[in-house]
Amino acid sequence: MEAVKVVGGGIAGLALAACLDPGRFRVTVHERLAEPPSVETSLAMWPEAQRALDEVGILPAVRAAGSDFGGMALRDGSGNVVLTARPSRVLGVSRADLLRLLDAAVPASVVRAYGTVASPPGPGLVVGADGVHSIVRRSVWGERSGARLTPYLALRGIIDDAVPPGVGGEYWGRGQLFGIAPASRGRTYWYASYRSDLGPGGIDVGEALALTRGRFSGGAAEIGRVLAAAVPGETLAQRVWTVPFPGSYRRDSAVLVGDAAHGMAPNLGRGACEALIDAATLAGLLNSRPLPEALRLYNRRRLLRSQSLRVASSGMARLALAERGQPLRDGLLRLAHRPGGAGAVER
């Protein structure tokens, strides 16, 4: 049996451990946290990620626990609709539910090792599934592969009320955005982002929330209502980090998956989706091919696609959080999505 050491028992690490053939691999998952994070947030799962969840064997359970994201509206800071889209079959799922279901799908033969890993554990294949600040990436790819701090702060949380009709979507104001989406169990998932000097570490959530209420006061009434209901204990506030292009997702006896490989700005809602696709792709190849070939094919299949999304996410962040030219931006978006316009989409 070949040894596989997965560093990180988050979305990517658990999905990989759930899919690897226990008859072929002796798998250990190293995770620094004994308990999952307590603050609940929501994740948008696009159709490709749902296919990966199907490969893990938990798609029906995720569907049962999640909620339909429904139609999405892009609004200006006052709440006027700029454009609407109905992306097909996007599912909203709570991160806690997703982690619980992935965890339950991991075979009993997988060894769980709790504690912070300080350097890649050998021998065998080492999988860096340890997120944006990956110790595996920094140890094997070098310190120059360290995460990059963006100027953006992101807050998110869930409040108990349902989303009232006609107010969901993403509100793009001047240098700030706010999102309102349905969450599981009839609740509301919200998120906000803007440039900030807070942090990067040890951010006081109460202070960040107060700052956010101030920034969005005078804008759309619905944002005020959501922020009034938000409490620090159920809010996450963090600076956004991204990962530079590593050149390749495999090096020596190490391979990267998820945010460790392509940590991206959250503006396309794709990071966790790509983490799941990485895990399903890598496991499928490892289960069926010799190790060197599996790693080569994994790199070939995943590098271009996930790096394109990483670059596109940064572009989207700059567009959504532009400090100037919002009327022009919003006007162009409206124009592009008018029937027959350059960006008109068939629905």
Ligand X SMILES: Cc1cc2nc3c(=O)[nH]c(=O)nc-3n(C[C@H](O)[C@H](O)[C@H](O)COP(=O)(O)OP(=O)(O)OC[C@H]3O[C@@H](n4cnc5c(N)ncnc54)[C@H](O)[C@@H]3O)c2cc1C
Binding residues vs ligand X (CB under 6 A): 7-13, 30-33, 43-44, 116-117, 129-131, 135, 154, 156, 191, 240, 258-259, 266, 269-273, 275
Look at residues 277, 283, 284, 274 and name the one whose alpha carbon lies nearest to residue 27: 283
The nearest distance, CB 233 to ligand X, in angstroms, is 18
Cβ closer to ligand X: 32 or 100? 32
Buried b (16+ CB within 10 A) or exposed e, 142-157: eeebbbeebebbbbbb
Supply the minimum distance, in Å, between the C-beta of residue 325 and ligand X: 24
Q: How far is the CB of 154 from ligand X (least distance, A)?
A: 4
Query: For residue 250, what is the enclosing H or E element?
Result: strand 250-251
Whole-number Cα distances in Å, 174 to 167, 238, 240, 308, 326: 19, 20, 19, 26, 6
The answer to whether 78 touches 172, Cβ cutoff 8 Å, is no
Which 8-state DSSP code applies to residue 256?
Answer: E
Residue number with CB closer to ligand X (131 or 219)? 131
Residue 36 Cβ vs ligand X, minimum distance, rounded to whole Å? 8
Tokens of 21: 């053939």
Instruction: Name the minimum Å distance from CB 335 to ligand X.
Output: 28
SS3 state at 309? helix
Q: Is the Cβ of residue 267 or residue 286 nearer to ligand X in the bound state?
A: 267
Nearer to ligand X, 146 or 341 (CB): 146
Q: CB of 163 within 8 A of CB of 223? A: no
Q: Report the residue number, 239 or 334, with the smaller CB distance to ligand X.
A: 239
End-to-end CA distance of the chain: give it in Å, rounded.
50
Minimum CB distance to ligand X smaller for 173 or for 271? 271
- Minimum distance between the CB of residue 7 and ligand X, rounded to whole angstroms? 6
Residues 327, 69, 178, 199, CA torsion sign: negative
